[in-house]
Amino acid sequence: MNLLRPLRIGAFTAPNNLLLAPMAGITDTPFRILCLKGGAGIVCAEMVSAHALHYGNPKSGRMLQVNKKEHPVSMQIFGADEETIAQAAKSAQDQGADIVDINAGCPVKKINKAGAGCVLMKDEAKLGRLIEAAVKSVSIPVTLKTRIALNHRERLALRMAKLAESAGASAITLHARAAVDVHTGAPDIEAVAEAVQGVKIPVIGNGGITNAQTAQQFLKTGCAGVMIGRAAVGNPFIFQSIQDEMAGLPPVVLTPQKRMEIYLALIRENVAYYGEKIGVNRSRKTAGYWINNFPNAAEVRGQFVRLAKVSDIEKLFHTVF
Ligand SMILES: Cc1cc2nc3c(=O)[nH]c(=O)nc-3n(C[C@H](O)[C@H](O)[C@H](O)COP(=O)(O)O)c2cc1C
């Protein structure tokens, strides 16, 4: 059975239920536009600090900007107090976001020390108040992204889903790994299935999805959609491949040369968006994902990370192919 379908989140309907996961340092505007071209139903932006927005941090302000080519887009915010979360949600809406998502799954120490991210799973009352504050401040749907657990001793997926629903969230994304596991290990799909059974809001499953089979494992539990993170980084057309495979069509397979062309186009977009220095720097962060199946990958990567100009990168890539 083909479990791909439009995804309804509150009053908003996305064309399909394959979502690009929010990834700090990666899912910026140029990459989000690329993933929409690659078939994503919704693209999620890197998390933005509600606190930094409140204090007028220009970098955070820019991260909230929405390009007209990147709809449907979900803007993710993180924070620890109701007032700044409400303000940030409103700013995301004013910038043109289709959905605003609250992060309660990030295990990064600096963020947890400030009372945000996955530590919110320990304080359900506070998390509920943050969601309610965001919901009150906007007319677009508010969603929650969290984990199935903090550690291996507990399962919080169902509790989190019920909490999100009662606080007024329109959907919940569950990363099917405990916070202590950060991004490694097999996803616990059963924990996500428990949450699906217990709430009426859409549950989006995430963690370890790399192809149609792994997407299908989540969708079979009744998940309304699936969210793909790292598997999309060097392969933004994964969304189209999964759709094709589920429809019984041969999936798009990109040759290393085609991937090089897509990467080069992304680097050019990054440079147009950020300027050459920052654009090339940002492109470098994901080089490992893109260059891994180029001929002489290790050597090419070694040379690539030393280049600062797009023209030199073009020359290198064209020599390789
Ligand atoms: C580099 C990186 C940055 C991430 N940044 C965020 C973030 O800003 N917000 C968030 O909710 N999750 C973030 N995540 C987690 C992803 O959204 C996703 O939950 C995780 O990678 C599991 O999905 P995957 O196995 O498909 O990669 C990040 C993950 C990675 C690898």
pLDDT in tens, 169-195: 999 999 999 999 999 999 999 999 999
Ligand 1 atom nearest to 230, measured from its CA: 27
Mean pLDDT across the chain, nearest whole number? 96
- pLDDT category at 254 given cuts 50, 70, 90 is confident
Q: Which residue has the tokens 């009372």?
A: 115
User: Is it the case that residue 253 has pLDDT exceeding 90?
Assistant: no
User: Is 106 among the residues known to form the active site?
Assistant: yes
Binned at pLDDT 50, 70 and 90, residue 288 comes out as: very high
CATH, range 7-246: 3.20.20.70
* Residue 105 Cα: closest atom of ligand 1: 11
pLDDT tops 90 at residue 252? no
Q: Which atom of ligand 1 is nearest to the CA of 187?
A: 25
Q: How many CA atoms lie within 13 A of 291 on its CB side?
A: 22
**Mean pLDDT, to the nearest integer, of 277-285?**
96
CA–CA separation, 97 and 90 (whole Å): 10
**CB-ligand 1 contact for 145 (6 Å cutoff):** yes
Q: Give the pLDDT mean for 143-154.
A: 96
In the reported structure, the alpha carbon of residue 229 is separated from the centroid of ligand 1 by a whole-number distance in angstroms of 6
| Residue 107 near ligand 1, beta carbon < 6 Å | no
- pLDDT computed for residue 161 by the predictor: 98
User: Tens of pLDDT along 49-83?
Assistant: 999 999 999 999 999 999 999 999 999 999 999 99
For the cut 80, the answer to whether the pLDDT of residue 1 exceeds it is no
- In the reported structure, the alpha carbon of residue 259 is separated from the centroid of ligand 1 by a whole-number distance in angstroms of 22
Gap from CA of 23 to ligand 1 centroid (Å): 5
**With 80 as the cut, is the pLDDT of residue 141 above it?**
yes
List the domain boundaries for the chain.
7-246, 256-320
pLDDT tier for residue 202 given thresholds of 50, 70 and 90: very high
* The pLDDT value given to residue 194: 97
Question: Could you read off the pLDDT of 105-116 as tens digits, one per residue?
Answer: 999 999 999 999
Q: How far is ligand 1, taken at its centre, from the CA of residue 319, in Å?
A: 34
Residue 3 scores a pLDDT above 80? yes
Binding site membership of 287 for ligand 1 (Cβ less than 6 Å): no
Q: What is the pLDDT of residue 177?
A: 98
C-alpha 184 – ligand 1 centre gap (Å): 11
By percentage, how much of the chain surpasses pLDDT 90? 97
pLDDT at residue 251 greater than cutoff 90:
no
For ligand 1, is residue 229 a contact (CB within 6 Å)? yes
> Which of 35, 106, 118, 223 is labelled catalytic?
106
**CB neighbours of 57 closer than 8 A, spacing ≥ 6?**
49
* C-beta 20 within 6 A of ligand 1: no
